[in-house]
Amino acid sequence: MAGQPDAFAALVLKKTGLFTDLQIEHVLAADRSDGTGITGAVVRLGLAREDEFLRKIGEVLGFAYTELAQTRPTDESLTKLPARAVYQYNVLPMVVENGVLTVVTCDPFNTGMTDGLRLAAGCPVRVTLSPREEINKAVQKYYGVGADAIEKMIEDGRYAVDTDLASISKIDVNEIGAEASIVKFVNQIIAEADRQGATDIHVEPMEDELRIRYRI
């Protein structure tokens, strides 16, 4: 028997008119098996283009669709969320209006995301939708390190989402394990710069995080 989150997701998927009942079952099963989200499952199964799917989901749930290629986040919004929250939830803050922060996500089915972002930002949060790749590109542009690189570091155990990059400066480098983690982290930064064809790597220590920018 499907749990409450599955039941909600199934209802929303049904309302889009894009899927049969069997396809919905496959989407939910795929999401349960790898935990990467309903949107990712739909795309991996080849059932719909991500932008098409998110537009339909937006119509059902009342979420706007954001064209990130044509929209720039405000400076105020970018300072509203710590980088670790941006990477953890794979979102991009866009604007603060009347005390409400608008963020872009590709995963509107993440029921804990809004509460987590509200706590991180210290204000109410409104959600809009955009494809994962566009969000990753924008995060890379405005935050420095690509979200895809951070995700890989998380998967490989090189970075924990419940700590920020500044914690590296607090590690006792005399400990072999910690030293190895630092080496792996630096190697990942260099590898990402090489992959992008960057000419410079700029490391900017912030109050509670470390910002890394590549000059392309």
Flag whether 119 is in a domain: yes
Specify if 93 maps to a domain.
yes
Q: What is the pLDDT of residues 47-93, one digit of tens each?
A: 999 999 999 999 999 999 999 989 999 999 999 998 888 988 999 99
List CB contacts of 40: < 8 A, sequence separation 6 or more.
31, 34, 107, 132
**Distance separating alpha carbons of residues 52 and 169, to the nearest angstrom:** 43
Residue 78's contacts (CB-CB under 8 Å, 6 or more residues apart) are: 93, 142, 143
What pLDDT is recorded for position 153? 53
For residues 162 and 211, membership in a common domain is answered with: yes
Number of domains in the chain: 3
Inter-residue contact 159 to 150 (CB < 8 Å): yes
10-residue mean pLDDT series, the chain (216 residues): 74 96 96 88 96 97 95 93 88 97 96 92 96 92 62 50 36 43 69 75 72 76
CATH of residue 90: 3.30.300.160
Contacts of 56 by beta carbon, 8 Å cutoff, 6+ apart: 16, 17, 18, 48
Q: Does 94 share its domain with 39?
A: no
Q: Give the pTM.
A: 0.67
Could you say which of 96, 122, 137 is where a domain stops?
Answer: 137
DSSP class of residue 212 equals E
Looking at the fold, whether 155 and 173 belong to one and the same domain comes out as yes
Where do runs of H (alpha helix) occur along 45-196?
A: 50-61, 75-78, 83-89, 113-121, 132-143, 147-155, 176-196
Residue 133 placed within a domain:
yes
Whether 131 and 151 map to the same domain: the answer is: no
Same domain, 96 and 148: no
- Specify if 83 maps to a domain: yes
Are 203 and 153 found together in one domain?
A: yes
User: Is 194 a member of any domain?
Assistant: yes
Domain span at residue 126? 68-137
Query: Is 55 a member of any domain?
Result: no
- On whether both 80 and 129 belong to a single domain, the answer is yes
